[in-house]
Amino acid sequence: MAKKALCIGINNYPGTHMDLQGCVNDAQDWAATLAARGFKTTTLVDGQATKAAMVAAMADLIGKGAKGDTLVITYSGHGTYQPDENGDETDGLDEALCPYDLQTKGEALTDDEIHALFAARKAGVKLVLISDSCHSGTVTRAAAAPAGAETRPRFMPMGMWLPKASLPKDRAGKAALTMAAPGGASPLLGAHSNKLGDLLLAGCKEGPNNFSYDARIGGRFNGAFTYYALKALKTQKPDATYADWHKAILKYLPSASYPQVPQLVGTATARQQKIFA
């Protein structure tokens, strides 16, 4: 029974002017924590985390998973959405993760693509997804942080990376650079399966205007969720469950500085599993 993890962190988004500062630290911190718990870890950070590399790494991790294995995928970076192309979204938008080459290649990693990758999973593989990115949001609230600000939403507006020809149109028939937020889910939620006992630990709620924040805490940049999740993990007993861990995280978040509510998504049985067992 193998334990393997893929930890992705992206600060640098060339051409978007929407760089972050805590995501690489997040990936390295998750990798170190998981390695200490017996996981074989792989990290993809910044220029390593192109869309092609993310797809290949996920496919390799999931494709090689066997019954009884525990797989963990962590993602820290921007979340975004784009016009739905296959008609399966009621709000007309696909949720997506933002790879390093989002703007230069012009392609996000959509929930549909992630779902297809996860569909190759073998029965009996336990999967834990950890998402420290925004689920959805508006251009206004996700605007560039003011000088000296200590927080920044991890949300990438469509207008920052999609060409105008690909943007949805407003009522005047012009490219809609701003629009109401979708009801949106985390892109990783589309890969989550209650039937197979998956767990998703996410930095914020689903839906409009919910953000995970890039933060500087104690002079070091991290995702606020990652920082407090790992801080809470250190206090857990060896037999602690995911539900215990989530309850401990909620002692720190939401806060006045970071108004985000971490979520634990999964069946009651999955929630009561021992952490990273």
Q: 7, 78, 192, 204: which is the annotated catalytic residue? A: 78
Q: 23, 134, 135, 204: which is the annotated catalytic residue? A: 134
Active site residue 17: no
**DSSP-derived secondary structure for 107-142:** --EEHHHHHHHHTTPPTT-EEEEEEES-SB--TTTT
Active site residue 135: no
Alpha carbons 22 and 223: distance in angstroms, whole number:
6
CATH 3.30.565.10 for domain 3-271, yes or no, is no
Q: Is the pLDDT of residue 171 over 60?
A: no
Q: Name the residue among 163, 144, 108 with its Cα closest to residue 20.
A: 144
pTM: 0.86
Among 52-56, 201-205, 267-271, the least confident range: 201-205
Average pLDDT of the residues in 90-116? 85
Task: List pLDDT tens digits, range 45-92.
Answer: 999 999 999 999 999 999 999 999 999 999 999 988 877 665 444 445
Name the residue ranges covered by the structural domains of the chain. 3-271
Q: Is the pLDDT of residue 98 over 90?
A: yes
Give the chain's length.
Answer: 277
- Quote the pLDDT of residue 208: 67
Q: Is the pLDDT of residue 137 over 60?
A: no
